[in-house]
Copies of this chain bind each other. A is one copy, B any other.
């Protein structure tokens, strides 16, 4: 039988597909409570023309509204890519218990690649646990495809414009 980590990361991966179809960088996320999916979200930054609309921020917003509380103490997050600084900060603010992420983000990952936010954030008696590299290949495959296609599109556009 599939373990829970795989099950929840697969649900986050389903969300990446929705982002991809919307021409967004394909990042997906679910928040889990009592071993059940509480909310699902995917990146909507371009669709909403809003810098805040990362999958993790949308998921936290949905979870707070659904629960009617700013504290998501006993909830875990599954996200396909290592969170950035904003999202890591939002995870701390909402008191999420543990973050499971898929692919590492060497350019802007704030959990362990470029920073160590969960261990360096002060002023809170709350420490977020984390585990990276879950279904890493599956989580990075669609992102790689997305960026290759974007590069091709940009190249074509440049050629068509005669530059």
Interface residues of A (CB under 8 A from B): 45-46, 48-54, 57, 60-61, 64-65, 67-72, 84-90, 92-95, 105, 107-108, 110, 114-115, 117, 120-124
Contact = CB atoms under 8 A, between A and B. Distances in A.
A52 B60 contact: yes
A90 B52 CA distance: 7
6 nearest CB pairs, A to B: A86-B89, A108-B123, A85-B89, A107-B123, A51-B94, A51-B70
A95 to B, nearest CB: 7
B122 A107 contact: yes
A117 B95 CA distance: 20
Nearest to A124: B108
A64 B50 contact: yes
Given A48-B64, A51-B90, A86-B86, 15 more contacts: A49-B64, A49-B67, A50-B64, A50-B70, A52-B64, A52-B93, A54-B93, A84-B123, A85-B85, A85-B117, A87-B89, A107-B122, A110-B121, A114-B123, A115-B121
A107 B92 CA distance: 14
A57 B52 contact: yes
* Among A64, A72, A122: residue with most chain B CB under 10 A: A122
B108 A121 contact: yes
Contacts of A110: 89, 121
